Structure 1
Amino acid sequence: MKSVLAVMGIGFAIVAIGATASAQNPPREIAGYRLGSNISAYGDRIGTENAYAVRLRPYLKEAAVSVPEGFASGYVVYGVCAAPGTIVRIKVKYEDEGRAFFDRLLAALKKQYGEPSQYVGDPFQAYVAWKWSFDVSKNEKITMILSHYDGDDEEHTQGNALKLSLTSQIAQESRCHEAQRRKEQIQDSTGTARFPAPADAEAWRRWLPAP
């Protein structure tokens, strides 16, 4: 019962400050973690010892975090190239997995930050997701996605979840990684490429999917 009341409190808190907040003040913090801050500020609340590289994005690492009452779990994603340790994404799952709670959260977020920029869920609404995009400045862009899922696909987080992303910093991390990768591929002093491409069509086959 105590956990349920705590989750309800989260929703009420969002509604309570909705009247004074606006899209000019984009969301940056949830469950005690803030976009743009460094993981070093949170001590052992972030499990960096078990962090791992984000799939297809080696310039980012993901680590589980401890969360306050009312949340079931969470993680942060941070950069390892342009600004090592800087938090670029925060995702939390709420303890209450019900659709009614999701609808209350959605209404509260609309009141605080305005209407979502787009619907990013599926057309059948098994996976319901709304996205807000905030162009804070030329160099700072933030997105927020509120989602609800009640299905068997492990691709989506079960229940209710909220994700904040500092997309401008993610782009910087990507550019930094690409610059480093290109440096590693430049030709050495003898003029031989460090990673030469296969010289004949037969050699290419190992890189191509078979029928």
Structure 2
Amino acid sequence: MKRPSAFIILALILLSAPCLAAEPLPLTLSVFTLGKDVDLYQSYCDGSQGLSQTDIPFLSETNLRADSVPGVRGGSLTHGNCLGDRKLLRVKLKFHDTSQKFFNALLKEYTKQFGEPDSYQGDTFKNVIAWQWNFARGKEAVSLLLMWSRDKEMRPGVSIKMTLESLLDAEYDCYKAAFDKQEKDQGGPTAIRNLNDFVPR
């Protein structure tokens, strides 16, 4: 009897292995789905217009109303302001339960669902504990950050940040092209005249 070739055996293994099947990207956190029109979620927001972030001018962020989602004390929805399609590219949620016990319970569920985190984003002293998962499919990429903090400047308590990184990159590229053109039209950036002006005294 003719034995099957190694190529056929390998093909059968690849086709039958469930772990190698293309997994869909996680895009939905609570009621919010990345890539959707941010205006769909106006009823969850505090009524203010999305404000451009001074250090990230190509993004606009709108705060969530406390308890618009049960158990959530606050957070924000972010969309880009360069491409013009107002797609939701980031969700941040902060919870009423600020305990490390709640964080650990979420971490257990995340690990069960997504496997071990891809990177640790917290500090060495564990004032901030943050684990990140990264997902990619084709040209789309998503990051998911689960964080617990006791640092008053780093969202104290438990928070989740989920970002459609591929859309974030597209918004940045759009902004950078427009900024570079504007700077060129204005004759280029100005230069520092005296370094001592920037030494505190």
Q: TM-score scaled to structure 2, two decimals?
A: 0.79
The equivalent of 1:170 in structure 2 is 168
1:21-48 Cα deviation digits (max 9, x unpaired): x992332122311111111222332346
Give the number of the structure with larger relative contact order, counting CA–CA contacts within 8 Å between residues 6 or more apart. 1
* Aligned partners of 1:39 and 1:46 also within 8 Å: no
The equivalent of 2:8 in structure 1 is none
The equivalent of 1:205 in structure 2 is 194
Partners of 1:207 and 1:196 in 2: CA distance: 23
Partners of 1:142 and 1:59 in 2: CA distance: 18
* Aligned partners of 2:53 and 2:59 also within 8 Å: yes
The equivalent of 2:64 in structure 1 is 65
1:23-74 Cα deviation digits (max 9, x unpaired): 9233212231111111122233234634221232111011112331111112
Q: CA deviation at 1:84?
A: 3.3
* Aligned partners of 2:44 and 2:69 also within 8 Å: no
1:113-149 Cα deviation digits (max 9, x unpaired): 1110011111111110000011122x21100000001
**Which of the numbers 137, 155, 158 marks the counterpart of 2:156?**
158
* Aligned partners of 2:183 and 2:189 also within 8 Å: no
- Identity in percent: 26
The equivalent of 1:101 in structure 2 is 102
CA RMSD of aligned residues (A): 2.4
1:158/1:181 CA distance change after superposition, 3 Å: same
Count of residues paired in the alignment: 178
1:48/1:180 CA distance change after superposition, 3 Å: farther
Q: TM-score scaled to structure 1, two decimals?
A: 0.75
* Aligned partners of 1:53 and 1:62 also within 8 Å: yes
Partners of 2:107 and 2:129 in 1: CA distance: 11
1:72/1:23 CA distance change after superposition, 3 Å: farther
Q: CA deviation at 1:182?
A: 2.3
1:83/1:133 CA distance change after superposition, 3 Å: farther
The equivalent of 1:14 in structure 2 is none
**1:121-200 maps to which residues of 2 (within 5 A)?**
121-137=122-138, 139-152=139-152, 154=153, 156-187=154-185, 194-196=186-188
The equivalent of 1:37 in structure 2 is 36
